[in-house]
Amino acid sequence: NGIEFLISKGMKLVVIACGTATSQALEEVKDLYNIPIVGVITPTVNYIKETGKKQIGVIATAGTIRSKGWENAIINAIDDANVQSIACPLLAPMVEEGWNDNKIAELAINEYLQPFNKIDLLIGCTHYPLLTKVIRKKIGNKVEIINIGEHVAKETKNILSDRNEVAQNKKQELDIYLTETECKFNEVASKLLGKEVKAKQVKEELEFLN
């Protein structure tokens, strides 16, 4: 499986960078392996609790909203929290297409976010930080937009620090593996990162591990 493939590459820690997968699989897999496995929900909810904000909006894929992973975690952690959830199935494919700051993205955001009542804070799918500029136009400057990645990164650093496993080598290398390379990933990722990205396909290796 994917986690075993990553471990075979010498990973110290694995992040399940998806709300749906976190809510449905994290508890089942984290005790199966000898390295830490981190989801996106708990680190983010811990931060939200610190803010003291109670009126919380969630936008995500249909699967994530259906799973109620964010809603349940927020309600369990924060007394009197009011969670409004909206499924936005078109947004992730748009980001993957590179349409994160154009008229199409703006129209989609305006339509999806229309039902929200007053919210103080907005959580989005892991794709959605790339839509922050367009989302901000719709909801204004008073609503805090959560970048899930920031809080997961802090949690990851804390875990590795506690285990004395923070890399001392400052040379940064990026290896990207995909199970499917017939997409615009390389083009979009290269544009966003400002350098050439060439993902490798791992379909055959995953089949071997299985």
Strands 37-39 and 14-16 turn out to be: parallel
Q: Which two tokens stand for residue 112?
A: 């999806």
DSSP state of 180: -
Query: How far is it, in rounded angstroms, from Cα 141 to Cα 129?
Result: 15
The verdict on whether 125 is a catalytic residue reads yes
What pLDDT band is residue 204 in, cutting at 50, 70 and 90?
low
The verdict on whether 88 is a catalytic residue reads no
3-state secondary structure of 42: helix
Q: Which residues contact residue 65 at a Cβ distance below 8 angstroms, ignoring those fewer than 6 apart?
A: 58, 85, 86, 87
At 146-201, the pLDDT tens digits run 999 999 999 999 999 999 998 877 677 888 888 876 678 888 888 878 889 888 88
What are phi and psi for residue 52, nearest 5 degrees? 80, 5
Query: Residue 12 pLDDT > 50, yes or no?
Result: yes
Instruction: Supply the mean pLDDT for the chain.
Output: 89
Considering 15, 16, 18, 189, which one is annotated as catalytic? 18
Q: How far is CA 156 from CA 24, 36, 150, in A?
A: 20, 9, 10
Considering 16, 21, 95, 125, which one is annotated as catalytic? 125
DSSP state of 176: -
